[in-house]
Amino acid sequence: MIALIQRVNWAEVTVNAQSIGKIQHGILALMAVEKGDTEASTQKMIDKIINYRIFSDEQGKMNLSLLDMQGELLLVSQFTLLANTDKGRRPSFSDSPDPAMSEALFEYSIGYAKTLVNKVEQGQFAADMKVSLENDGPVTFWLKV
């Protein structure tokens, strides 16, 4: 599983000009399920995201996690993180997993996150989404489990 996480002041995802997920101070996580991922690897990724220390403490050092600062989480499925860009000028997605498996694990990640974080919002799997955000920092990390 791959996640691109961004520390945000706010983030929102819309589908057909309708807001379907919106958070304030927290993490926007763009996530891609890889072949071989399981519920266990999904749990490991969510645990990593919510415990990753990317928020500033009183001394201005990145020492606090999303859980420490009781922030909000927006999860958005983004299969393009799996693109193979080694050759040519067009990304290849031939190594991407079955969409049904990806959707099931993405939905599982949302359910699991909701057991740990006070506010979890989500995008819509396989939809044409528009994501707006104010990146805080900017602070962005690429995570893999």
Q: Which residues are catalytic?
A: 78-80
Q: Which of 81, 55, 86, 84 minimizes the C-alpha distance to 69?
A: 55
DSSP state of 82: G
Residue listed under structure tokens 């990390």: 141
Give the CA-trace dihedral at 142, 48, 68, 30, to 10 degrees. Answer: 40
**What gap in Å lies between CA 10 and CA 123, rounded to an integer?**
15
Task: Assess contact for 76 and 20: CB atoms under 8 A.
Answer: no
Beta bridge partners of 65: none
**What gap in Å lies between CA 83 and CA 96, rounded to an integer?**
8
Q: What residue type is assigned to position 132 of the chain?
A: S
